[in-house]
Amino acid sequence: MIPPLDDLIGDWLDRGALAHLPSLRNQWGQAHVNDDLTSLSWLAMPPYSGGYHTGVLRVDGRAVRADRLRWAPWGVRRAGAASGLTVETDTRLGYEQHAVHWRTRLVNRSAEPVTVTVEQELHAPIADSPVDWGWLYGTPWSAGHHHDYYTTERIRAEVLAWVPRHVHLLATDPRWLRLGSPRIPGIQRDEDTAPMLLESELPDHSTSDSGRTRAPSALGTVRGVTVLPDSGTPVVVDGEFELTDPATERRLEPVALGPDTVLRLEFRPAADGQTGVVLTHGNHPDSVQLGLTDGRPWLRIAGEHVTAGPPLRAGQWHLLSVRITGDGAELSVDGTHGAWTQPWWGAQRWTSTVSGAQVVVTDRHSPAVSVYAFAEAPDELVPHGGGAVARWTCTVEPDATVELGVVLAISSDRDRSVHVAEEAATGFAGAFAAVADRWRSTWTSAFTPGNTEFSGHLPVLHDAPAGLARTYHLGVLLAIYLRNTGVSPIGPVFLTGGPRLGPTTTYFWDQSEWAHTAAMLEPTGTRAWIVAALSQPYDRCHSFDTRNLLPVGNHYAANDHALFRTVQAYLAVTGDLDLLAEKAGTATVLDHLRALAYRPRERRATFGGGVLVDFGRDAWELLECVPNYRDAVVSFNAGYAGMLRSLATLLRRLAAGAPGADLNEEADRADADAAELTAAVLGQYAGGGRWNIAHPEGDETIGHVLDFVFVAAELAEHLSEDMRAEMIQFVTGHLLDGDWMRALAPDDPIAPRSDRPDHGAAGAFGAWPGATAYGLCRLGRPDLATDLLSRIHASTSGAVWGQAMETVGGGRFRVAERGVANRDSLAGAAATEAILVGLFGLPAGSAAGGHVPGIGTLHHVRVPQPSPHPRHPAR
């Protein structure tokens, strides 16, 4: 039977047990909760994007810490203590609305009445943006619109401060000083050769419509570059440096700019009235940057921009100085104070007015209008900077509760924002409850034939062991949670992750991890996604913005296999061969499949026998943080071998309905090429379940789950009994660990240099336990797959699986926060895929086998089903 959605909400968890705080979603947008009781950051409901945070709850003047948190699909509850009361909040995004609802409860469990002053900050730094919806999507700042990951994270960490500070200006990590034209800002490596542990570095993954372009260098001469820390030894860069071309970029040396550090330099402009950049500290969005506009000097830092003094004079030396403190950043010119940055919560960009019992916040740079309304009118409602503060004086009797309700509505029409906020606030209890009810209805629809919510439905799992059933349903819930029905012109889409990233983005690879399940649940949406994805330049990007249908990021070696298998899964589930003749871009879907499968001929290695595909040396195209996983790796080579074989099968199927076509000859060639590549892949077996990477300088052994996953999925029938047994032993003995697994064997020589908790030895990516379970089924061990799939639900940190799941010891894992890992990751739906395709063998003809005794039965199955007496490969 279908479990009630309420059975899948998380338990109350202590803050100390969580590395990554929960997210919020509403089928239109996403947000991240913070360490206090009410504020949200990373609020994005396209076309609306929020910066900074939405405001902190204070009781008797103190921000209240969230000591415990509990996630549900419809919202997040946070609880803390203040002034003798228990304070509990529940925050929900209005279902398929541009709205947020907050409920605050003050609970008195003492024997005496307690009177407190409750203050709710009401910030709405929100913009309406039709563009810049890449993986690193744009967020609004006092001066500008761009993705500034670490500035936002510093602000999030500051929500419990006794006195608000300008903490977002204080980037204290060492960065290279650069003169001249700066690199395009993003979360990116400071140098192309820098390590890739995702602590602070990632390529810029914005879209082409973001407007972020490389600024020119100001022309002139720089000297006397000096960093004066508050304590310690000054850093002096000797010499004069000529900036003679707008494209000039000159790297000096790395320095840290801590609190009260002074950075100064002398600059002699080559001409009057210039516009360009003189110096940048690093190449991040929050970097200190000095430059000129029409000759006037300016300072840019962490979303702030100030200009000081008259234009600099050509041929004359001018002293430019920056001092950064907890109260702001100061720009001085020729020894004279020029300008200070202002508080982000001030009225720099957003203005607020109090109208009756509502607060209206207007963005000067976009049409966005945000309105706060209240279920209980505040005793005071005071404008404050770009927002307001609502105050209630509450007396809570013994064993009693006082409840407050706040609504935020956003649109580009003031009247609409006012109406939506007022209506929800007036009927707050009903509107609040309706959010959860709508989630429950959507959940039931996912398993109901003929429902009006999805174009398909998923099988109902009956009589399964409790652990396996919970994993199955959590995978389904994860997909529904990451579904967005309002963002894309192609219809409903399943976003890849977030909420700090990608409110419109889908990755090709992640979509493929649950491709059969997606085609069962949303066949119409999957078909539209396939056509849109194949219309992208997938040989040059890893994902696309589903809102404006633009490519995002660098190329992934996994793209060909991911797209091919997604199409193949859709065809297997739906039988919709008409898709093959449909145009996606300039080619038919069938021609895309040919191109995807035949990429090996274009990239054959000049080493290792000349058959394997060479994936090059850019680690960003492969596993990003495993520095030796490059060149001719086994995983994707096995993928190409399987794709060629599958292409041959498809061509013969088409040939049967098209007499006289040359498809059978083409199929024979694909089979021959597949056999050649399969032999080359098997020749890379290193023994002990591990595989060799072919480098130009020779082979190197590695123990990574990706090799196991691809070889087991694509080449199981070509493995010897010993190889099967050794691969199984390697996975169970080196990678599987309690509730989860590790992507890289901890005893691998490269493990110390690959510390990321998704791709390295510290944990594993959200998809890989499911993919590993599927591989175990392919190798004849569905029992081991069942055991694994029955455990991994315990690692969700009270919600659903994230991008990176890190070990905390003793076989326990949690959703990782460090670096830029996603709290939610669609790839975790691979667990449900492994149950349906690996254990139950859906659809008929899938490579895994079929139904395993003792795991329950599936009902309402609308895809071809396997034989009731399947035969797995021998153990």
pLDDT tens track for 103-140: 999 999 999 999 999 999 999 999 999 999 999 999 99
Phi and psi torsions of 589, nearest 5°: -60, -40
Q: Is the bond leading into 47 cis (omega within 30 degrees of zero)?
A: yes
pLDDT, residue 263, reads 97
- How many whole angstroms separate alpha carbon 313 and alpha carbon 303? 28
Spatial distance between the Cα atoms of 692 and 686, rounded to a whole number of angstroms: 6
Lowest mean pLDDT among 158-167, 335-344, 431-440, 599-608: 599-608
Query: Which residue is listed with tokens 């849109």?
Result: 532
The residues pairing with 514 across neighbouring beta strands, listed in sequence order, are none
Integer CA distances (angstroms), 795 to 18, 316, 329, 516, 821, in order: 11, 63, 43, 24, 16
Q: Is 328 helix (H, G, I), strand (E, B) or coil?
A: strand
Long-range contacts of 207-211 (CB under 8 A, 24+ apart): 207/131, 207/132, 207/133, 207/134, 207/545, 207/548, 207/550, 207/551, 207/552, 208/550, 208/551, 209/131, 209/132, 209/548, 209/550, 210/131, 210/132, 210/134, 210/138, 210/146, 211/131, 211/132, 211/145
| DSSP alpha helix (H) spans, 657-767 | 663-682, 705-715, 721-730
Q: Give percent of the chain above pLDDT 70.
A: 96
Q: What is the mean pLDDT of residues 460-484?
A: 98
pLDDT of residue 845: 58
| CA torsion through residues 338, 344, 348, 352, sign | negative
At residue 57, the pLDDT reads: 98
The pair of structure tokens assigned to 574 is: 């739906």
Complete DSSP assignment for 485-529:
SSS-TTS-EE--EESSS-TTEEEHHHHHTTHHHHHHH-HHHHHHH
- Check: CB of residue 152 under 8 Å from CB of residue 52: yes
Output the 3-class SS for 384-435: ECCEEEEEEEEEECCCEEEEEEEEEEEECCHHHHHHHHHHHHHCHHHHHHHH
Q: What's the pLDDT at 875?
A: 29
pLDDT number for residue 675: 97
pLDDT, tens only, 484-541: 999 999 999 999 999 999 999 999 999 999 999 999 999 999 999 999 999 999 999 9
- pLDDT digit string (tens) for 815-850? 999 878 999 999 999 999 999 999 999 996 555 556
Q: Over 60: is that where the pLDDT of 684 sits?
A: yes
pLDDT of amino acid 869: 43
Residue 19, amino acid: A
Task: Report the pLDDT value the prediction gives residue 461, as an integer from 0 to 100.
Answer: 97
> How many other CB atoms are there within 10 angstroms of residue 579's CB atom?
18
User: Buried (b) or exposed (e) across 473-498, using 16+ Cβ within 10 A?
Assistant: bbbbbbbbbbbbebbbebbbbbbbbb
Give CA–CA dist 374/118, Å, rounded.
Answer: 14
- Which one-letter DSSP state was computed for residue 125? -
**pLDDT tens sequence across 553-599:** 999 999 999 999 999 999 999 999 999 999 999 999 999 999 999 98
Q: Which tokens go with 716?
A: 């199981």
70 token code pair: 């509990």
Q: What is the pLDDT of residue 188?
A: 47
What pLDDT does 94 receive?
Answer: 98
Quote the pLDDT of residue 812.
Answer: 97
Which residue in this structure is represented by tokens 């983005």? 505
Taking only Cα atoms into account, the Rg of the chain, rounded to an integer number of angstroms, comes to 29
Nearest residue to 852 (alpha-carbon basis) of 827, 830, 834: 834
The 3-state secondary structure of 151-162, one letter per residue: HHHHHHHCCCCC
Tell me the pLDDT of the chain averaged across its residues: 94
Distance of CA 629 to the CA centre of its chain: 23
- What distance in Å separates the CA atoms of residue 629 and residue 416, rounded to the nearest whole number? 53
Angle subtended at Cα 830 by Cα 827 and Cα 836, rounded to the nearest 5 degrees? 155
Kindly indicate the confidence band of residue 754, based on its pLDDT and cuts at 50, 70 and 90: confident
C-alpha dihedral, 306 to 309 to 311 to 315, nearest 10°: -110
Q: What pLDDT score was predicted for residue 660?
A: 63
Lowest mean pLDDT among 73-87, 322-336, 824-838: 322-336
One-character DSSP codes across 201-264: -------GGG---PPPBPPEEEEEEEEE-SSS--EEEEEEEEE-STT-EEEEEEE---TT-EEE
Residue linked to tokens 């996603």: 822
Q: What DSSP state is assigned to residue 855? A: S
The answer to whether residue 192 scores a pLDDT higher than 80 is no
In the numeric block, which tokens belong to residue 127? 């913009």
Its sign, for the CA torsion 310, 314, 316, 322, is positive
Give the integer Cα–Cα distance in Å for 766 and 777: 19
Torsion 7-12-16-18 (CA) sign: positive
24 in Cβ contact with 93 (< 8 Å): yes
Q: Quote the CA–CA distance of 612 and 633 in Å, as a whole number.
A: 8
Per-residue tokens: 462: 């009956």
pLDDT in tens, 692-749: 999 999 999 999 999 999 999 999 999 999 999 999 999 999 999 999 999 999 999 9
Rounded Cα–Cα distance for residues 26 and 484 (Å): 8
Q: DSSP label at 758?
A: T
pLDDT, tens digit, for every residue of 352-401?
A: 999 889 999 999 999 999 999 999 999 999 999 999 999 999 999 999 99
What is residue 870's predicted lDDT score, i.e. its pLDDT? 39
List the end-to-end C-alpha distance of the chain, in Å, as a whole number. 33
Distance CA 716, CA 573 (A): 22
Q: Give the residue from 367, 408, 421, 406 showing the smallest Cα distance to 124.
A: 408
Average pLDDT over residues 173-197: 69
**φ, ψ at 721 (rounded to 5°):** -60, -40
Q: What is the pLDDT of residue 203?
A: 64
Cα(379)–Cα(722) distance, rounded to whole angstroms? 76
Residue 195: pLDDT band (50, 70, 90) is: very low
Determine the Cα–Cα distance for residues 295 and 433; give it in Å rounded to an integer: 58
